[in-house]
Homo-oligomer: A and B are copies of this chain.
Amino acid sequence: VEDQTQMKNKRCSTFDLFLFSFCSQNVMQVNFFCDYEESRGNYLVDVDGNRMLDVYTQIASIPIGYNHPALTKVMADPKNLGTLVNRPALGMLPPRKLPETLFDSLISVAPKGFSRVQTMACGSCSNENAYKSIFIWYRNKQRGTSKPTPEEERTSLLNQVPGCPDLTLLSFMGGFHGRTLGCLATTHTKAIQKLDVPSFNWPIAPYPKLKYPLDQFERENAQEEARCLEEVEDLIEKWAKMGRPVAGIVIEPIQAEGGDNHASFDFYRKLRGIAKKHGCAFLVDEVQTGGGSTGKFWAHEHWGLDDPADIVSFSKKMLTGGYYYKDHFQAGEPFRIFNTWLGDHTKNIFLAEVIKVIRTENLLEEVKRSGKVMLQGLYDLQAKYPHLLSNARGIGTFCAIDLRDEATRNVIPDKVLACQCFSIRFRPALVFKERHAHLFLDIFNDAIAELR
């Protein structure tokens, strides 16, 4: 949302766009070109000098705002120069500081029960490799050893069973887990993301369609959740009988790209139980929810379970992709989970600094406070404009509100960043404070008022 007091000029830099159109296919997606040198904290500056309060932060991937001094200091530290300039193949030739940096960064914020992590370059690669870890674990369990038969070795090279087994992953309608071919088979949000791409025939369960606010519709919502959980168990049993067992269940704590669909913590606790009962791995995809914006470092920590997951994947605000995994998901042999870079050590170094800032600036507490202002403000707005807005919802600053219909939606994009469906989703950085929430609500109120 633009900070209108600072607004100079509202146009894309046409020269940049013109140049870009000769070499890129993304031109139609460009909102505007940014001046990242001039951007600060919660404020993104475009090339025309407009300064905007950013509530979407590069699709939820800027943890502590733009140009935080702690991060610029990392760049200036000559100790870091070597890994910044020479990108190591982290799996074979790690830099001296890799283990220490992992303990200072990813391991220091590992969800309860996890002590192991595999870094990857992005969210899709994280899930792709997490899926592989699940399949390897499942087959090791089935055959009682990690040693394959010669027949398995031979057929694997030909994409055939038993080497490449006919296992499946169960995912949910409305779920988003990435855009590479394996991930896409578990993504069910928009046709445009999947269309024309061959996929795997894997089971897809319904995700609860709940009424908001959740605490006012507890009975109906519980019924809807029970229906979905029953369907999950039916699918697991049905696919096992077909000889195509469900090796794992993959789900987001809040369906983000799908339009910010919530389910109750009780739903997730029961789903985890079903996975365990049927011997399926349970993968919680925290690519968009992880990193603090729900007021806890991991959104699934709200569920209140000691053993909530077998694997937790992440990316975005964590700066590096990757996944935490329980010990038994450690592949027996080297080079099973591997690629040249296995992430980017630069990002681990930045993340260690980000986590230090989150702690010293008490940012999870800030998120709880500004999230409360944000959600209350959205409730007030939907009460004020019931013909335009509905379904305000959120945890921490991970908030959303729905537009009543497409006509309403089509007037909005000029003023509000990145609303691609009927939900307007808010993804501010962790440095978004109460005063920013108030400022946002004022601007949003003015924008909505204009629509009446």
Residue positions of A touching B, CB distance < 8 A: 13, 16, 19-20, 22-26, 28-39, 44, 47, 58-59, 61-62, 66-68, 71-72, 75, 79, 81-96, 98-100, 102-103, 106-107, 115-118, 121-125, 128-129, 131-132, 135-136, 138-140, 148, 152-154, 156-160, 163-168, 173, 178-183, 185, 188-202, 204, 315-316, 319, 325, 330-331, 333-342, 344, 346, 350, 418
Contact B198 A25 (CB under 8 A): no
Question: Would you list the 8 A-B pairs with minimal beta carbon distance, nearest first?
Answer: A181-B182, A36-B82, A37-B82, A28-B334, A19-B99, A159-B199, A164-B199, A153-B191
Contact B179 A181 (CB under 8 A): no
Residue from the list B29, B66, B148, B165 in contact with A335, Cβ < 8 A: B29
Contact B30 A91 (CB under 8 A): yes
16 contacts between A and B (CB under 8 A): A23-B116, A25-B325, A26-B338, A33-B94, A34-B88, A36-B86, A67-B86, A72-B81, A75-B75, A75-B81, A131-B181, A135-B196, A159-B201, A160-B201, A180-B182, A315-B340
Q: How far is B159's CA from A142's CA once the two chains are assembled, in angstroms?
A: 27
Contact B115 A86 (CB under 8 A): no
Residue from the list B20, B66, B96 in contact with A47, Cβ < 8 A: B96
Name the B residues within 8 Å of A38 (CB-CB): 82
Contact A197 B34 (CB under 8 A): no
Name the B residues within 8 Å of A23 (CB-CB): 99, 102-103, 106-107, 115-117
Contact A58 B87 (CB under 8 A): yes
